[in-house]
């Protein structure tokens, strides 16, 4: 049954990335993240009261609270970095890096949770790592996108000036290249914290109903997200968000809530080293939507990488 919840999480997570990408196009990523947490907080606690698990609040141990809170902090940090990366880079580049947290999570689960390392899991790690690398490989950049100028041919009588101009263009091009890669740094940081989230959450929800565990974590994410918004003064921009952006941000919050409920239900009963990779299959839906609706192109190399990622994930279902 937990496998079904894991696949449900993947579907909703795939929708989340696209809805969020559209929503934060003209909105500060931190503010958009904070708004989404409001929707998720309401949604998650609504599910708690529907399931009747609020009665368990008094029996939750301090250890469970500790790991749920730590997991919430890791989630908040992962989100902030992820949506910043999503705002700066293409969905079909950012998403594969974020999904590569699968490999790190599997390794951490084997080390800290004592989950078994099988031949299939080892092969999956290799496939997913190779596939992710292929999907994020850089395209050939042209001069306007940061190509370094090395042409030594300059007009006679203008040798010094020509070299100076070439040097200036090289420095300018390098500056554009570094600025253009900022999304990569944010995406990698998102990956690290996403991996920590899964491990901490797995420990935290071991003795608690999954819906209640999700709701408790959401409180932490909510506080962290809005604290950053107020610290950076972005709360003043709430009134400037257009209706379309706000609608997509809220929709992404709803799909995130659905994804979380499915994900932590699966994580409670299944192995983290299997649940997490299945959840990351949301990359299929995300890239399909980015291709058809955001018009982001997928190269042959990226497509081959995607096939490896999916193949590696499916290997984990082999017993």
> Considering the domain boundaries, does residue 272 fall inside one?
yes
Whether 316 is in a domain gets the answer no
Q: Which of 217, 216, 316, 218 is closest to 271 using CA atoms?
A: 316
Residue 312 within any structural domain of the chain: no
Q: How many domains does the chain have?
A: 1
Task: Tell me if 282 sits within 8 A of 13, measured CB to CB.
Answer: yes
- Residues 6 or more apart whose Cβ sits within 8 Å of residue 78: 189, 190, 191, 192, 193, 194, 197
Burial code (b: 16+ CB inside 10 Å, e: under 16) for 134-156 equals bbbeeeeeeeeebbeeeeeeeee
* Model pLDDT, residue 232: 86
Task: Confirm whether 112 is domain-assigned.
Answer: yes
CB 296 within 8 A of CB 92: yes
Helix (H, G, I), strand (E, B) or coil at 44: helix
DSSP state for residue 11 in the 8-state scheme: H
pLDDT computed for residue 34 by the predictor: 92
pLDDT value of residue 144: 39
Q: 211 with 48: CB under 8 angstroms?
A: yes
* Secondary structure (DSSP) of 215-284: HHHHHHHHHHHHHHHHHTTGGGGGGG--HHHHHHHHHHHHHHHHHHHHHHHHHHHS-HHHHHHHHTTHHH
Query: Is the alpha carbon torsion for 182, 188, 191, 197 positive or negative?
Result: negative
Q: Is residue 73 part of a domain?
A: yes
What is the residue-level pLDDT of the chain in tens, covering all 319 positions? 888 998 899 889 888 878 887 888 788 888 998 999 999 999 899 989 988 888 888 888 999 999 999 999 998 888 788 888 888 888 777 877 776 787 888 888 888 888 888 898 899 889 988 988 887 665 434 433 444 344 444 444 455 555 545 445 554 454 444 456 788 899 889 989 989 988 998 888 878 888 898 899 999 999 999 998 998 898 999 999 999 999 999 999 999 889 988 988 888 888 887 887 788 778 777 788 777 777 777 788 888 988 998 888 888 777 5
Q: Which residues are within 8 A (CB) of 131 and not within 5 positions of it... i.e. 6 or more apart? A: 96, 304, 305, 306, 307, 308, 309, 310, 311, 312
Query: Among 183, 186, 156, 7, which Cα is nearest to 90's?
Result: 183
> In a 3-state reduction of DSSP, which class is residue 287?
helix
Task: Look at the alpha carbons of 276, 31, 74, 219 in this order and tell me if their dihedral is positive or negative.
Answer: negative
In-domain check, residue 197: yes
Question: Residue 273's domain spans which residues?
Answer: 2-306
The Cβ-side half-sphere exposure at 61, using a 13 Å CA radius, reads 9
- Give me the helices (H) in 139-242, please: 159-180, 182-204, 210-231
Q: Is residue 176 part of a domain?
A: yes
Residue 92 near residue 291 (C-beta atoms within 8 A): yes
What are the tokens at 172? 């300018």
151/257 Cα distance (integer angstroms): 54
DSSP 63: H
- pLDDT of amino acid 147: 40
Q: How far apart are the first and last CA of the chain?
A: 16
**Do the Cβ atoms of 74 and 225 come closer than 8 Å?**
no
- CB 66 within 8 Å of CB 282: no
15 domain-assigned: yes
User: Which residues make Cβ contacts (< 8 Å) with residue 249, sequence separation at least 6?
Assistant: 19, 20, 23, 24, 27, 32, 35, 36, 241
């Amino acid at each position: 049954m937990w496998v079904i919840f894991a696949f449900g999480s993947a579907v909703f997570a795939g929708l989340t990335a696209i809805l969020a990408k559209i929503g934060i196009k003209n909105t500060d990523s931190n503010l958009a993240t904070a708004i989404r947490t409001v929707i998720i907080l309401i949604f998650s606690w609504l599910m708690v009261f529907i399931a009747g698990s609020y009665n368990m609040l008094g029996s939750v141990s301090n250890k469970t609270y500790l790991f749920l809170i730590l997991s919430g902090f890791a989630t908040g940090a992962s989100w902030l970095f992820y949506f910043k990366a999503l705002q700066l880079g293409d969905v079909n580049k950012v998403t594969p890096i974020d999904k590569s947290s699968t490999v790190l999570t599997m390794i951490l689960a084997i080390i800290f949770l004592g989950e078994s390392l099988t031949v299939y899991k080892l092969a999956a790690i290799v496939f997913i790592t190779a596939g992710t690398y292929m999907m994020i490989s850089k395209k050939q950049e042209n001069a306007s996108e940061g190509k370094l100028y090395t042409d030594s041919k300059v007009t006679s009588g203008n040798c010094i000036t020509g070299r100076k101009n070439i040097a200036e263009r090289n420095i300018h091009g390098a500056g554009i290249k570094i600025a253009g890669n900022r999304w990569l740094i944010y995406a990698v940081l998102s990956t690290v914290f996403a991996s920590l989230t899964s491990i901490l959450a797995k420990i935290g929800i071991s003795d608690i109903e999954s819906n209640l565990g999700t709701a408790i974590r959401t409180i932490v994410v909510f506080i962290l997200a809005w604290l950053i918004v107020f610290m950076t003064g972005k709360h003043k921009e709430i009134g400037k968000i257009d209706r379309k952006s706000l609608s997509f941000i809220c929709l992404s919050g709803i799909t995130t809530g659905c994804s979380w409920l499915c994900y932590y239900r699966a994580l409670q009963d299944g192995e983290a080293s299997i649940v997490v990779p299945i959840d990351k299959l949301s990359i299929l839906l995300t890239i399909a939507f980015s291709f058809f609706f955001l018009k982001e192109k997928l190269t042959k190399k990226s497509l081959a990488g995607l096939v490896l990622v999916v193949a590696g994930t499916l290997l984990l279902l082999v017993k």
